[in-house]
């Protein structure tokens, strides 16, 4: 034994030499830093398994979304999951109601929302100004509207409402583009898919086709005409008259908000493998496409990328919204910083977002202030679209083995202030420790504790509920913006500036961002050390401005149009 002890270091040295004088390549061990999220899926009652085919049918790969909304106005967020099993399938969309104790109960049966189809996204918004959030579901071959009748019942009114979209609709958003007080609807259609077209990778194996194999399609815009229909949901197709059809695209991501600072909402489409489009509202019912000159069409190197998920928030605290767009594993994501107002520049290189523990194909993405320090952090829900020879492990339990070949780990980046990010993924086993074919990602305060939680959906696998348990969170303020004149519905499109601790924090109320998702319609502001709010300025969707007094932080404020100064 003593001899062995003596020789130990020498033997180790030899072994080190034999191993090539460098440590064996492994993932760096997870740091002991506290986690920001806890996986509470099992205890939450939100059990949802996404079903998808395994025959390289492209709509399967796009995934399906989720909507966070309070359908019964009880003050707690409910959840609506979309399935992708096809018409007539027993895989039906699922509605979950949040009970008083914070758990979720499946209330799909007889809700009217438990439909089947080639489901893509879901968005919530009150189309007939009755104070109840209605639901739009996008599908491969349809855009469907479900009217909220109250009492947990919904009725499909697609045809009666005049919504006719036979195309593959992936992403949709509500927007009051004519500022008449009624929510209009945009469906940014995806591509002109040929289901008989078979694709192979360079190595000869069948795989999903790339979007470049197919033609782009026209974006659809419907003007809300419910006022003229006696309160029954009704839309008129303005795709042609508004001019949005003129520049077709391949949209997966969508942000409807004011991009040029004129107080009128514009339409940004993140186009998969094509230049992004930005339809600027001409304030007369028409739009012109201006993405290229405003710096949003291409990535930092002037190239087109696989643009998918979108997030819109002020990452550097300059009072203007910045756009984040996710891309493929072999591309860099884009962080288009705004400045001056109305023009953008992809500054991802200087943001720290290129320094990553691993690369991912990002779909759903949110910019939300998880640690409430006043700077929005970033999450990217990752999952491949083309098989890798070596995929990431471990794969989360419940993922269909066929789809496991496309699984990747998601990522979390902390905003260190001024829009400089640091990859925190290695320290986040609950969010980033297991690979999934993640697609849709929704953010919201599920448990009303003032911290932003996450709902992560995956192709061919279970959804995951992630409760925010970030340590040392700062003070916060939640703001719900309501329009009493419009039935008390959420003021989609409104912008808010919170003044606290000598700083301004900007946000826009647009739940339909990320990817095929609808987020919590309540705005959340991290205030850091500021325990008091000085004031809140609101720019309402109709262009009106009001200021509300603040007060103590760490609470929900419900601000109604007309109540401010």
Min CB(89)–other proteins separation in Å? 19
Min CB(279)–other proteins separation in Å? 13
Binding piece for other proteins, criterion CB under 8 A, among 172-180, 191-199, 504-512, 547-555: 191-199
DSSP 24: P
- Interface with other proteins: number of residues (CB under 8 A): 64
Q: Which residues pair with 383 in a beta bridge?
A: 407
**Binding to other proteins by residue 10, rule CB under 8 A?**
yes
b/e string for 488-527 if b means 16 or more Cβ within 10 A?
bbbbbbbbbbbbbbeeebbbbbbbbbbbbbbbbbbbbbbb
**Binding to other proteins by residue 350, rule CB under 8 A?**
yes
Among 166, 230, 471, 502, binds other proteins (CB under 8 A): 166
Min CB(95)–other proteins separation in Å? 28
**Binding to other proteins by residue 349, rule CB under 8 A?**
yes
Closest to other proteins by CB, 6 vs 472, is: 6
**Binding to other proteins by residue 331, rule CB under 8 A?**
yes
How far is the C-alpha of 362 from the C-alpha of 381, rounded, in Å? 6
Among 26, 205, 284, 472, binds other proteins (CB under 8 A): 205
Q: Are 139 and 117 in contact (CB under 8 A)?
A: yes
Radius of gyration of the CA atoms of the chain, in A: 23
How far is the C-alpha of 354 from the C-alpha of 383, rounded, in Å? 18
Helix (H, G, I), strand (E, B) or coil at 5: helix
Among 27, 74, 194, 563, binds other proteins (CB under 8 A): 194
Binding piece for other proteins, criterion CB under 8 A, among 123-131, 265-273, 335-343, 445-453: 335-343
**Binding to other proteins by residue 347, rule CB under 8 A?**
yes
Closest to other proteins by CB, 166 vs 230, is: 166
Task: For 215-235, give the DSSP string.
Answer: B-B--EEEEE-GGGGTTS--E
DSSP 53: -
Q: Are 187 and 172 in contact (CB under 8 A)?
A: yes
**Binding to other proteins by residue 200, rule CB under 8 A?**
yes
Q: Are 425 and 411 in contact (CB under 8 A)?
A: yes
How far is the C-alpha of 402 from the C-alpha of 117, rounded, in Å? 21
**Binding to other proteins by residue 502, rule CB under 8 A?**
no
Strand order in the sheet with 545-552: 503-508, 495-500, 532-539, 545-552
Among 33, 42, 227, 241, binds other proteins (CB under 8 A): 241
Min CB(93)–other proteins separation in Å? 22
**Binding to other proteins by residue 168, rule CB under 8 A?**
yes
Closest to other proteins by CB, 26 vs 205, is: 205
Closest to other proteins by CB, 33 vs 301, is: 301
Closest to other proteins by CB, 265 vs 273, is: 273
Among 23, 88, 151, 340, binds other proteins (CB under 8 A): 340
| Greatest pairwise CA separation for the chain in angstroms | 95
Please list every residue from 131 through 150 that binds other proteins, using CB under 8 A: 141
Question: Which residue in this structure is represented by tokens 């949802």?
Answer: 48
Q: Which residues pair with 476 in a beta bridge?
A: 526
**Binding to other proteins by residue 202, rule CB under 8 A?**
yes
Contacts of 22 (CB under 8 A, 6+ apart): none
- Name the site residues for other proteins (rule: CB under 8 A): 3, 6-7, 10-11, 13-14, 17-18, 20, 141, 164, 166-168, 192-197, 200-205, 217-218, 220, 237, 239-241, 245-246, 288, 290, 292-295, 297-298, 300-302, 304, 330-332, 340, 342-343, 345, 347-351, 354, 359, 389-390
């Amino acid at each position: 034994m003593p001899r062995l002890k003596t020789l130990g270091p020498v033997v180790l040295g030899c072994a080190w030499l034999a191993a090539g004088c460098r440590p064996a390549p492994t993932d760096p061990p997870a740091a002991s830093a506290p986690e920001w999220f806890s996986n509470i899926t099992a205890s939450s009652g939100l059990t949802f398994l996404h079903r998808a085919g395994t025959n390289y049918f492209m709509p399967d790969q796009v995934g399906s979304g989720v909507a966070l909304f309070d359908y019964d106005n009880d003050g707690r967020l409910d959840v609506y999951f979309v399935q992708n099993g096809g018409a007539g399938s027993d895989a039906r969309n699922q509605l979950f109601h949040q009970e008083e104790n914070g758990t979720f109960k499946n209330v799909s049966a007889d809700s009217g929302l438990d439909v089947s189809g080639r489901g893509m996204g879901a968005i919530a918004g009150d189309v007939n100004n009755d104070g109840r959030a209605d639901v739009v579901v996008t599908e491969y071959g349809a855009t469907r509207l479900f009217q909220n009748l109250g009492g947990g019942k919904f009725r499909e009114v697609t045809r009666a409402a005049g919504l006719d979209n036979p195309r593959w609709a992936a992403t949709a958003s509500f927007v009051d583009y004519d500022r008449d007080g009624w929510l209009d609807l945009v469906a940014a259609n995806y591509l002109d898919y040929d289901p008989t077209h078979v694709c192979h990778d360079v190595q000869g194996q069948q795989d999903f086709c790339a979007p470049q194999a197919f033609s782009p399609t026209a974006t659809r815009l419907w003007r809300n005409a419910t006022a003229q229909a006696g309160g029954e949901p009704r839309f008129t197709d303005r795709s042609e008259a508004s001019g949005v059809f003129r520049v077709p695209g391949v949209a997966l991501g969508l942000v409807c908000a004011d991009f040029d600072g004129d107080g009128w909402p514009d339409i940004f489409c993140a186009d998969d493998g094509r230049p992004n489009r930005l339809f600027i509202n001409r304030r007369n019912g028409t739009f012109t496409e201006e993405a290229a000159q405003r710096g949003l069409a291409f990535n930092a190197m002037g190239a087109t990328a696989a643009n998918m998920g979108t997030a819109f928030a002020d990452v550097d605290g300059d009072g203007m919204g910045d756009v984040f767009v996710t891309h493929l594993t072999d591309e860099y994501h884009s962080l288009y910083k705004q400045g001056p107002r109305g023009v953008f520049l992809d500054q991802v290189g200087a943001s720290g977002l290129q320094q990553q523990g691993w690369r991912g194909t990002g779909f759903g993405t949110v910019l939300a202030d998880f640690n409430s320090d006043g700077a929005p952090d970033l999450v990217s829900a990752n999952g491949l679209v083309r098989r890798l020879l070596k995929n990431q492990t471990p794969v989360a339990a419940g993922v269909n083995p066929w789809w496991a070949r496309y699984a990747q780990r998601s990522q979390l980046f902390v905003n260190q202030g001024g829009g400089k990010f640091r990859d925190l993924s290695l320290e986040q086993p609950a969010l980033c420790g297991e690979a999934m074919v993640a697609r849709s990602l929704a953010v919201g305060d599920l448990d009303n504790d003032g911290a932003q939680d996450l709902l992560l959906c995956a192709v061919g696998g279970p959804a995951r509920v992630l409760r925010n348990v970030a340590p040392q969170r700062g003070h916060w303020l939640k703001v719900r913006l309501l329009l009493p004149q419009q039935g008390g519905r959420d003021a989609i499109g409104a912008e808010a500036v919170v003044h606290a601790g000598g700083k301004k924090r900007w946000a826009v109320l647009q739940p339909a961002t990320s990817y095929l998702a609808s987020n919590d319609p309540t705005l959340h502001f991290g205030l850091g050390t500021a325990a008091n709010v000085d004031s809140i300025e609101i720019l309402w969707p109709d262009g009106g401005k009001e200021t509300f007094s603040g007060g103590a932080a760490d609470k929900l404020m419900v601000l109604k149009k007309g109540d401010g100064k």
